[in-house]
A and B are shown apart, each in its own frame.
Chain A
Amino acid sequence: MRRVLIRDPIFLIGFVIFTSLLLLSIGNTIFRDGEVAQIMIRYSDEGKLIAVSPLKPSLDQWLGTDRAGNDLFQMMIEGFKWTVGICAVVAFGRMLIGLVVGIPLAFRSDRLNHYFKMVLEGFLILPISLVALMLLYPSFIYADSTMIPPLFKPVTIEILILVLLGLPAVTLYLITEVRQLLKQEFMIVAETLGGSVLHRVRLHMMPHLIPTLVIVFMQQFVQTLMLLIHLSLFGIFFGGTVIIFEGIMPALFEWSSMFGYYFKQFSSTTWMNNHLFLVPAIALAALVFLVNLLTSRVERAFRLRRQEDAVTEVSISQTEAASSSLAGPFTLVHMKGSIEHDKKDKSG
């Protein structure tokens, strides 16, 4: 799969863009202490006042500034690592717990799995953003900026909630995947030969499961991002919402919070023309598109690998050759060449 991906230009371009943004964002924190330039007023060369913030995009401020004068380009770069980090942690958490719960359950009887499915049925019709909103609403609204607790606590609780709410669907999916794998011939043979559960999982199942896990991870990444966007539109920003004189503002400026924040500021006026709304909107659309694109390329690579593993013309001819061969009918065809080669070497 890796070989296919390395030769795929679309995947490579997407990956390079994603990694560059991440490096820029981390670099901004390391080398500039995460600072964002503030420009409240723009003057002409003659010293005349041209505009006050929010400034429109220009050569000096590529994406313009917000009402507080923060350079939007720098804010987007600074916020990228938080958005990606949160989504990655949530997606990874869901997958990890899903695997820890799902794999042992998949090895159990049909009946137990049926009961488990029955219990989780309720979660499959549940709009997660609605429940997340209700869970977070009472604790994540701060009356003023002095009431914001250290970010570690709300962030940990929010991540935990986001992981747990998406967990049932991921666990059910992983159980189905593992049970499908358990029906494969190679797994039945491994069991017949006496391989322990741990051995079968580690040696036989994992190599087949990892590509699926990569795809699930990326899907969960996008789902988490969409959930964060939905919550921010409801006024629940990641890390908490501070009530200010003009309305509400996020405690932490990451992309989804910025989207909700600027959307709320301009939804009643000329928001469609305003760069403040459009910058995070287009950036988020591009991020979702990029991750979906990478997922589709990984899926493609996975599909191609599976096609390679499946019956090919060479393997058919090898099977036919093996069945018609009289000498050593139990020797694998592709082994024959090497055995004969070894014999020649020894006699030589």
Chain B
Amino acid sequence: MIFFARKSVQFIVTLFILLAISALPSLIVELKFVPMNYWDALLQQFHQLSQLDEITYYNRTSQQVLPLLPDLAPFIRETLIIFATALIVSTLIALFYAYFFYRSGKLVRNVLQTICQTLEMVPDLFWLVFLQFLALTLNRTNRFARIEIAGGFAEYIRLLPILTLTMTILFFFIKWLTFHVLEQETTPFLELARAKGVRPTSIFWKHLLPNLVYRFYLFFRSNMITILSSLLIVEYLYNVQGLFRFAVINPQMEILLVILFIIYIPIFLLDLVIEWLIPNAWKGGV
């Protein structure tokens, strides 16, 4: 009960913080900080909360002002598909990489670590450029034109955005998992499992991994901001008809408020469910 009360308070406080953030664009007027303007915008955003269905945007294709909320659904779906797919694929690959790393000898481990350490230094933007370049080269040399390098209105582009985001998240996850697998390897509970003759596969999936799940989730949550920033630039440059690109081409405070809520609420709910479901023992408690 206390857990839900605490989470509810956190939810309400964060909604107000997001409301305050959404009013920030009014703080600067002609290269001057104008706090009064910000205060007025804050009140306006607050009133907007009760009239969310009245928010409109200018649709460039149909060249008319349309209500925001029903029109936003396909953009949300597109962003969700790219984000969720990239997240699932990168988590699975990272887990299997961690398993392979765990089972490998010293030499293979060194090679894997050096390759991954080098690749994780490459920023997301350059994965994007590289993948577009690769798609173009494939097109030029083999006349293979199945891969879209940019989307458009009613033209969905998914493969390259998912691939780019997967690359960015993957090296994040691999770095964290490799470090923690190495750290956990020498812990007494794994030594005991080894001494009792438990097979390495079983040690990894049944003993080592459950011990890391909660910390892995915390790591993911704290790096959410970087992943969302990557998603923003991926959507913008691939011309994905997604939520973030929509926010960039419609820079209005009311739209920003709605989009921030749309991003935060699912993350909060996911956090609530995970915190509730993960056993206390996995969190390091008794």
> Which listed residue (A127, A137, A222) contacts B225, Cβ 8 A?
A127
- The segment out of A19-27, A128-136, A331-339 that lies at the interface is A128-136
CA of A138 to CA of B33, assembled, Å: 13
1/0 per residue A282-313: CB within 8 Å of B?
00010011001100100000000000000000
Would you call A149 an interface residue if the criterion is a C-beta within 8 Å of the partner chain's C-beta atoms? Answer: yes
Q: Which of A122, A138, A222 has the most CB of B within 10 A?
A: A122
1/0 per residue A217-256: CB within 8 Å of B?
0000010001101100110000000000000000000000
Would you call B17 an interface residue if the criterion is a C-beta within 8 Å of the partner chain's C-beta atoms? Answer: yes
Interface pair A122/B29, CB less than 8 Å apart: no
Would you call B153 an interface residue if the criterion is a C-beta within 8 Å of the partner chain's C-beta atoms? Answer: no
CA of A125 to CA of B120, assembled, Å: 22
CB distance from B186 to the nearest CB of A (A): 13
CA of A115 to CA of B10, assembled, Å: 9
Residues from chain B with a CB closer than 8 A to the CB of A129 are 229, 232-233
Would you call B244 an interface residue if the criterion is a C-beta within 8 Å of the partner chain's C-beta atoms? Answer: yes
Interface pair B229/A128, CB less than 8 Å apart: yes
Would you call B65 an interface residue if the criterion is a C-beta within 8 Å of the partner chain's C-beta atoms? Answer: no
Interface pair B232/A126, CB less than 8 Å apart: no
Query: How big is the B interface, by class?
Result: 35 or more
Number of A-B contacts (CB under 8 A): 119
Would you call B195 an interface residue if the criterion is a C-beta within 8 Å of the partner chain's C-beta atoms? Answer: no
Interface pair A149/B31, CB less than 8 Å apart: yes
Would you call A202 an interface residue if the criterion is a C-beta within 8 Å of the partner chain's C-beta atoms? Answer: no
Interface pair A118/B10, CB less than 8 Å apart: yes
Would you call B49 an interface residue if the criterion is a C-beta within 8 Å of the partner chain's C-beta atoms? Answer: no
CA of A257 to CA of B256, assembled, Å: 25
Which residue in chain B gives the minimum CB-CB distance to A223?
B226
Interface pair B123/A130, CB less than 8 Å apart: no
> Which residues 1-45 of B have a CB within 8 angstroms of A?
9-10, 13-14, 17-18, 21, 24-25, 27-31, 33
Q: Which of B10, B123, B236, B264 has the most CB of A within 10 A?
A: B123
Interface pair A135/B133, CB less than 8 Å apart: no
Interface pair A121/B232, CB less than 8 Å apart: no
Interface pair B233/A272, CB less than 8 Å apart: no
Main secondary structure of the interface of B (DSSP, over half): helix
Interface pair B13/A118, CB less than 8 Å apart: yes
> Which listed residue (A122, A135, A149, A293) contacts B121, Cβ 8 A?
A293
Which residue in chain B gives the minimum CB-CB distance to A172?
B222
Interface pair B228/A135, CB less than 8 Å apart: no
> Which listed residue (B9, B18, B28, B129) contacts A138, Cβ 8 A?
B28
> Which listed residue (B30, B247, B264) contacts A122, Cβ 8 A?
B264
Interface pair A234/B30, CB less than 8 Å apart: no
Residues from chain A with a CB closer than 8 A to the CB of B17 are 119-123
Which residue in chain A gives the minimum CB-CB distance to B124?
A226
CA of A136 to CA of B248, assembled, Å: 12
CA of A169 to CA of B228, assembled, Å: 14
CB distance from A199 to the nearest CB of B (A): 32
1/0 per residue B229-246: CB within 8 Å of A?
101110011000000100
Interface pair B225/A128, CB less than 8 Å apart: yes
Which residue in chain B gives the minimum CB-CB distance to A166?
B225
Interface pair B225/A126, CB less than 8 Å apart: yes
CA of A292 to CA of B117, assembled, Å: 10
Would you call A195 an interface residue if the criterion is a C-beta within 8 Å of the partner chain's C-beta atoms? Answer: no
CB distance from A277 to the nearest CB of B (A): 9
Would you call B52 an interface residue if the criterion is a C-beta within 8 Å of the partner chain's C-beta atoms? Answer: no
Given contact pairs A128-B229, A135-B25, A285 touches B18 in the complex (Cβ within 8 A)? no
Residues from chain B with a CB closer than 8 A to the CB of A58 are none
- Residues of B at the A interface (CB closer than 8 Å) are 9-10, 13-14, 17-18, 21, 24-25, 27-31, 33, 117, 120-126, 129, 132-133, 136, 221-222, 224-225, 228-229, 231-233, 236-237, 244, 247-248, 251, 253, 256, 260, 263-264, 267
In the complex, 5 of the A-B residue pairs with CB atoms within 8 angstroms, ordered by the A residue number, are A121-B10, A125-B267, A127-B225, A137-B25, A285-B122
- Residues of A at the B interface (CB closer than 8 Å) are 118-131, 133-139, 149, 153-154, 157, 161, 169, 222, 226-227, 229-230, 233-234, 272, 281, 285, 288-289, 292-293, 296
